[in-house]
Structure 1
Amino acid sequence: MKNNISFYILVCISLLCNAQSYDFKTIVDLDATDIISQGNTGTCWSFSTSSFLESEIIRLTGKHIDLSEMYIVRNTYPKKAWNYVMRQGKAQFSEGGLAHDAINSVKLYGLVPNTTFKAVMDEKGRFNHSKLIDTLKTTLDQFIKAPKQYKSTWQQDVNTILDLQIGENINSFTYNGISYSPMSFLEMTKINPDDYISVTSFLHQPFYSTFILNIPDNFSNGSFYNVPLDDLVNIVNNALKKGFTVELDCDVSEKTFSAKHGLAIIPIDGQDQLQALTTVTPEKAITQKFRQEEFENYNTTDDHLMHITGFLKDQNGTIYYKVKNSWGKNSDRIGNNGYVYMSEAYFRLKTISIMVHKDAFFKHLKE
């Protein structure tokens, strides 16, 4: 018994001695605007896509422009409301959305800088939409229940609510001494909404084809290009190496996705998850089949959208994506200056989709 105890102690000492804290080396680090917080809202889809477009503007023009996320949100809610009413309330109505919803808004309503759209904030100076959905849904349900008895038009009532809780729309403004409309401002940024492609990787649809991804937040029935998992990873790596950042939709419900530690990993079974966030830990090998199983059993859902701006390697050569989050920075709950270093294993398992400029694709995928 004493020999067994001694052996166990030696094994523990050996493991502790071999434990390595993470040591990252930056490989690619592309230009991005400063991190801001989405506050008490479910509008990560607008914050992340706006950040993605801000990096695209830097790439295309060299200009650093802080875009208004709430202008995009303000112009997307009427589309959500229309979908809900026309489906007679038999559809999800929530704060959630996807990257292509922001792109659709940009195509129809242009862009405006953050300084010109007067977004509504609470007394703490943050975005707070805690009552927005309930207020909107109550109005829409009243119309759906008795449309002939509804005293005004639901569209007008929705716009009034949005004006009060998000901000009033604008048609013209001045930026750096020049007068713009939202569409002329879009033209100045060189952003072409038709240049951006949503890509995913699932087995229930044929590869190298497009399909409507049936997830709850895809209220606008956006299409996704379906590729094998290795291609999805290679598209991201190729894009970053060529100077293109990447929009990301993924699941962040895992205990090993930690904003506090600024890390997202998939340790092998049996590993101490808390310890894995501070010391280098072996990760699972993620297959296409396992990825599909986790999606179909709801372990992987479209929780959150973020923005990939580069990648790093740890001391063992493992790739981690530098992911810009929208939960703020420099607080007790947010580490790594608001960024999350996401391992390739986590990306392979938990990514729902990406969005990237068409020029970042491999030639054979473009064709």
Structure 2
Amino acid sequence: MKNSISIIILIFISIISYSQSYEFETVIDIETTNVISQGKTGTCWSFSTSSFLESEIIRITGKKIDLSEMYIVRNTYPKKAWNYIMRQGKAQFSEGGLAHDVINSVKDFGLAPNTAYSGLEANKSRHNHSEMIAVLKGLLDVYIDNSGRQLSPKWKEVTESILDIYLGKNITTFNYDGVSYTPKSFLEMTKINPKDYVSITSFSHKPYNTTFILNIPDNFSNGSFINVKLDDLVAITNKALKSGYTVELDCDVSEKTFSSKHGLAVIPNDENSKLDALIKVLPEKSITQALRQQEFENYNTTDDHLMHITGMLKDQNGTTYYKVKNSWGKNSNRIANNGYIYMSESYFRLKTISIMVHKDIVPKSLLNLN
């Protein structure tokens, strides 16, 4: 009888603990810059990775610098256009990109502060690239359609002109804090070394502990990723945060249980409890490598959005969450947690496409793979 009563009490306690409103305790909170909005653009890849680099600059130098996301975008679009033209339109040409596109731009063109290159049209305070991308793609399609005669060499010049009109002419020198810089000398001042950053993923259709080109639409530059087991992906992320390094994140945000309004991302065990899971603690699904692979191959997990992990939290049951800096702004009744998402480890395990971290966090055995 006593055993039966004990079991009932344990079940009751379990039910109570999983039906409370969320209470979070900060475990790790790494310094970063302010949450800002990417506006009406698909440039989360530049905003999030620029934020990641801003935190790296703070970690390395102690300096807090607002980098220009649009300087990176301005120098990446010609590469996208080249890829689209050379593949004769048989490739994606869109606003999307990945973290390594930022690193490639930094390596080739350096960095600039937002004060030197805002990328905003005159008298505008919010980015909107809808017209620009339509004009660019339309132009490139015209050149491709006419390439049966011979591809006009003017396409590069015209593409640059359109980017100049919508984003502003590229820059070669600027002043910052009373010092004259070029983008390359500014990069040197920040102490960022593009060679220090690696992209890591976890999928079972390729051998673990090898590198491969991840076949997702936004990987127009054919970036290579280190492939590790799911537990290792989590371990590398946790090691980075515990060591004072932030993490760049590419993930799927199409789930109903990813909510900027609630500032939360979870994977409830009960499919019928998705809305409830945003307002009260519920048991979450156990995520296996097989389930993760299944969701990727059936298109339920896609590379929707890039964000920046800057810390860790736990709820009242001790469940781990990642503090994820978003780029949808923070001053809105539709955005909670000042623009941050508290992402459960279950959500991270299932919906992460890839991460980017400093190479010092990665096991040395993974850094010299072919």
> What is the correspondence of 1:73-92 to structure 2 with a 5 Å cutoff?
73-92=73-92
Q: Secondary structure at the match of 1:19?
A: coil
Following the alignment from structure 1 to structure 2, what is the Cα–Cα distance between the partners of residues 242 and 149?
Answer: 55
Secondary structure of the residue aligned to 1:184 is helix
Shift of 1:167: 1.8
> Which residue of structure 1 aligns with residue 5 of structure 2?
none
**Partner in structure 2 of residue 227 of structure 1:** 228
Note the alpha carbon deviations across 1:130-161, whole angstroms, 9 max, x for none: 11221011111111111347776000110111
Amino acid at match of 1:324: K
- Paired residue for 2:111? 111
Contact 2:18 2:282 in 1 (8 A): no
Tell me, yes or no, if structure 1 residue 247 matches structure 2 residue 251: no
Tell me the TM-score normalised to structure 2 length: 0.93
Q: Which residue of 2 aligns with 1:327?
A: 328
Q: Which residue of 2 aligns with 1:294?
A: 295
CA contact (8 A) 2:143 2:152 kept: no
Count of residue pairs brought into register by the alignment: 356
Deviations 1:152-197 (A, max 9, x none): 6000110111111122110000100111000000010000001100
Residue identity opposite 1:158 in structure 2: T
**In the alignment, is residue 120 of structure 1 matched against residue 120 of structure 2?**
yes
Q: Which amino acid aligns with 1:100?
A: H
1:336 alignment counterpart: 337
Matching of residue 43 in structure 1 with residue 35 in structure 2: no
**CA distance in structure 2 between the partners assigned to 1:123 and 1:325 by the alignment:** 25
* Corresponding residue SS for 2:275: helix
- 8 Å CA contact 2:265–2:344 kept in 1: the answer is yes
Helix, strand or coil at the partner of 1:210: strand
The answer to whether residue 64 in structure 2 is matched with residue 64 in structure 1 is yes
Q: Secondary structure at the match of 1:341?
A: strand
Aligned CA RMSD, in angstroms, stands at 1.9
**Comparing 168-177 and 148-157, the one that deviates more:** 148-157
What's 1:29 paired with? Answer: 29
Contact 1:120 1:164 in 2 (8 A): no
**Secondary structure of 1:84's partner?**
helix
Deviations 1:269-289 (A, max 9, x none): 244211111111100000000
Q: Which residue of 2 aligns with 1:172?
A: 173
Equivalents in 1 of 2:186, 2:278: separation in Å? 43
> In 1, Cα distance between the equivalents of 2:331 and 2:234?
30
What TM-score, normalized to structure 1?
0.93
Counterpart in 2 of 1:305?
A: 306
1:224, distance to aligned residue in structure 2 (A)? 0.1
Give distance in 2, aligned partners of 1:237 and 1:151.
51
Task: Note if 1:134 corresponds to 2:168.
Answer: no
Question: Which residue is 2:144 aligned to?
Answer: 144
Distance in 1 (alpha carbons) for counterparts of 2:106 and 2:217: 22
Shift of residue 230 of structure 1? 0.1
Q: Tell me which stretches of 4 or more aligned residues in structure 1 moved more than 6 Å.
A: 14-18, 149-152
CA contact under 8 A between 1:142 and 1:150: conserved in structure 2?
Answer: no
Q: How does 1:276-295 map to 2 (within 5 A)?
A: 276-295=277-296
Q: Structure 2, unaligned stretches of length 5 or more?
A: 1-10
User: In the alignment, residue 127 of structure 1 is paired with which amino acid?
Assistant: H
Structure 1 window deviating more from structure 2 (97-106 vs 152-161): it is 152-161
Aligned-partner SS, 1:308 = strand
Q: Give 1:307's aligned amino acid.
A: H
% identical aligned pairs: 70
Paired with 1:149 and 1:225, the residues of 2 have a C-alpha distance of 40
Distance 2:340 2:326 in 1: 6
Q: Distance in 2 between matches of 1:220 and 1:153?
A: 23
